Amino acid sequence: MKKYDKFPPKREQEDPPKPPRLNKYVANAGICSRRKADEYIKQGFVQVNDEVIKEMGYRVQHKDVVKYKGEVIKPETNKVYLLMNKPKNVVTTVSDERARKTVMEIIKNACTERIYPVGRLDRNTTGLLLLTNDGSLADKLMHPRNGVRKIYHVTLNKAVTKKHLREIAEGITLEDGPVMVDKVNYVKSDDKTLISIEIHIGRNRIVRRIFEHFKYEVKKLDRVYYGGLTKKNITRGYFRHLTEKEVIMLKHFS
């Protein structure tokens, strides 16, 4: 038994965990990513104890009642991760003012937790879409500095020339700045209208605008790869839960 001169040294007490910041609280309630939560808070969509709070760093206390657009929200303890093969003519939003079909209608019976799409696909763009209530993971996947790989198959109205492919690969400049792609090539050697393009940037309609810059019309746009995930065994318009291994991969990718 260890001996002490007088009394055993006192153990340092750990500080209790700080209450969560408001933006994190909103994100963990399955509303949106943390960055999007910042926007909603600034826009006055979030109330604490019936008072609009526009301070993202506000610490939510245990007794606080937090509302988003008038509805009481609470952080989800069970994390859900769904991978959808999005069909055409479906909007990538939680709700739509024009009453168009949304991706949420497709997964409405998938879980009881509130989840939301990570990033967006145009209404007419098909392919891989992740939905979750994990705000931290959503932020990580959407932040440009993390360079999440995305591969699209693009069907054009006419054959794409090798010259244009080379110019795209070397980098072009659009109205909102330079555009660098990671890879671009024909999917099949005998079909010059079907192109595979790999990017990690997430600017609005970027793939469509790249080809429109060279006067091509995009007939179909399909995301076939996202951060290590593929459409294997997911029929268009359906979804599946991610495996534990896939979730770990997403959380630890570099």
Please compute Rg for the chain using Cα positions.
Answer: 23
Q: Of how many residues is the chain composed?
A: 254
Q: Which residue of the set 122, 134, 139, 190 is catalytic?
A: 122
CB 21 within 8 A of CB 56: yes
Q: Structure tokens of 229?
A: 């995930």
CA distance 216 to 182: 20
Q: Is the dihedral of CA 126, 127, 132, 134 positive or negative?
A: negative
CA distance 181 to 201: 8
Helices 34-42 and 135-142, interaxial angle, to 10°?
100
122 as an active site residue: the answer is yes
Q: Structure tokens of 216?
A: 């091509």
Helix or strand holding residue 40 (H, E) = helix 34-42
CA distance 208 to 175: 13
Residue 91 per-residue DSSP state: B
The catalytic site residues sit at 122
